């Protein structure tokens, strides 16, 4: 139940080691002072040692193509651009899935929905008999902070101050654990942080096929940002009306590129192009992001473990016996891992639903 700050201060003396581990908490949607965040310190370190940081050769869509092939090889079909509007329930069981254009698909055995509990109970099951406690809790489904991701095309790889950093999966750039905590507090207060920690991923270091010869790509991730910013902690950017406009996200990206230059001086001058994803872009693109949360729901203690996705209906079951929830909004949470699907698959393979 300890906080990450307590664990880091108790177990480590080096401010550099503390600063190295601290920003990983943001990848778990937590702050350094969140209840139980101390557990994530052990979890991240154990995971990196056991599994490293795998990267699909050729780009992340290779992973998606492989999963699609797995489905089609087994006779399944996949339909894109078909937002589900309702799950049809008769006599307490799901019998059909209706998509936006009105087409309905008959349910064989079960519906597995990769959506958050708010969407399931408030929209997809809006015509079904859902216990009041569930709809009330679904209305209070809580989202975490947002993120900005900046993809950079570079004319040359970053010049790391230490060559060993070329072999590190995803180093973070920041001054200290304390600065990392301060930036997250600023974000929780609705402010654009003046100096957030940045995670820097250079996939071309491991997979040169991703850029023309001599060039590089870099992904800069800034986590734990306000989804609806109200002010700038540095007092430099006019924030406007709580919206990540194109202008705001570009000005914030300029701040991040400037900060990058402090640690990697050759990078700002090597940028050939950039693509920025803001919390608002995420919200527009994926209903599971709510207002722009990359992790599909808060991962604080009150929304985790036995309380995920909802205290009245934790785990992957729902109030309809043949509807299951999977995905980042369910246990064990966010990340490209497939764990919730694995859990549900085992239930379906071993029990009569």
What is the contact surface with ligand FAD in residues (CB under 6 A)? Answer: 83-84, 114-115, 119, 147, 149, 277, 282, 286-288, 294-296, 327-328, 334-336
**Given the complex with ligand FAD, which of 5 and 248 has the nearer CB atom?**
248
State which residue has the least CB distance to ligand FAD.
327
Nearest-angstrom CA–CA distance, 91 and 94: 8
Which residue, 1 or 336, is less far from ligand FAD as judged by CB? 336
CA–CA separation, 59 and 48 (whole Å)? 21
**Least distance in Å: CB of 24 to ligand FAD?**
11
For the bound state, the minimum distance from the C-beta of residue 9 to ligand FAD, rounded and expressed in Å, comes to 27
Query: Given the complex with ligand FAD, which of 336 and 352 has the nearer CB atom?
Result: 336
Question: Tokens 């914030």, residue?
Answer: 252
Closer Cβ to ligand FAD, 198 or 334, answer by number: 334
Contact (Cβ atoms closer than 8 angstroms) between residue 323 and residue 87 = yes
| Shortest Å distance, C-beta 62 to ligand FAD | 15
CB of 247 to ligand FAD, least distance (A): 20
Q: Could you tell me if 21 and 45 are in contact, meaning their C-beta atoms sit under 8 angstroms apart?
A: yes
Minimum distance of ligand FAD from residue 28's CB (angstroms):
10
The minimum distance between CB 15 and ligand FAD, in angstroms, equals 26
Nearer to ligand FAD, 84 or 231 (CB): 84
Instruction: Give me 2's structure tokens.
Output: 């300890």
Question: Of 31 and 199, which CB lies nearer to ligand FAD in the complex structure?
Answer: 199
| Cβ atoms 248, 300 nearer than 8 A | no
Alpha-carbon distances of 40 from 36, 46, 129, 172, 201, rounded to whole Å: 8, 10, 38, 17, 21
Cα separation, 149 vs 172, in Å, equals 14
**Coil, helix or strand at residue 302:** helix
């Amino acid at each position: 139940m300890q906080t990450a700050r307590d664990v880091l201060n108790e177990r480590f003396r080096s401010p550099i080691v503390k600063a190295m581990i601290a920003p990983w908490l943001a990848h778990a949607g937590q702050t350094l002072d969140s209840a139980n965040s101390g557990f994530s310190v052990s979890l991240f370190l154990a995971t990196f040692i056991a599994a490293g940081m795998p990267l699909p050769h050729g780009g992340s869509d290779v992973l998606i193509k492989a999963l699609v092939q797995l489905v089609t090889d087994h006779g399944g079909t996949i339909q894109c651009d078909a937002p589900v509007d309702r799950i049809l329930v008769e006599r307490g069981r799901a019998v059909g899935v209706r998509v936006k254009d009105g087409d309905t698909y008959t349910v064989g055995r079960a519906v597995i929905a990769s959506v958050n509990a708010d969407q399931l109970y408030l929209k997809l099951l809006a015509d079904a008999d859902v216990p009041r406690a569930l709809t009330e809790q679904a209305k209070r489904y809580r989202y975490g902070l947002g993120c900005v991701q900046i993809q950079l095309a570079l004319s040359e790889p970053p010049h790391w101050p230490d060559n060993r950093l070329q072999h590190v999966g995803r180093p973070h750039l920041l001054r200290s654990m304390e600065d990392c905590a301060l930036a997250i507090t600023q974000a929780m207060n609705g402010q654009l942080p003046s100096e957030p920690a940045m995670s820097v991923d250079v996939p071309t270091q491991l997979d040169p096929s991703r850029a023309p010869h001599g060039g590089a790509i870099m992904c800069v991730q800034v986590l734990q940002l306000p989804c609806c910013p109200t002010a700038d902690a540095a007092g430099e950017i006019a924030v406007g009306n709580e919206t990540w406009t194109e202008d705001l996200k570009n000005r914030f990206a300029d701040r991040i590129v400037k900060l990058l230059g402090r640690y990697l001086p050759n990078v700002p001058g090597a940028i050939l192009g950039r693509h920025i994803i803001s919390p608002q872009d995420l919200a527009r693109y994926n209903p599971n992001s709510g207002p722009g949360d990359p992790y599909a729901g808060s991962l604080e203690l009150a929304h985790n473990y036995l309380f995920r996705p909802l205290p009245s209906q934790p785990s992957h079951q729902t109030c309809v016996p043949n509807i299951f929830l999977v995905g980042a909004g369910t246990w064990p949470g966010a990340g490209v891992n497939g764990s919730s699907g694995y859990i549900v698959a085992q239930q379906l393979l071993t029990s009569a639903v």
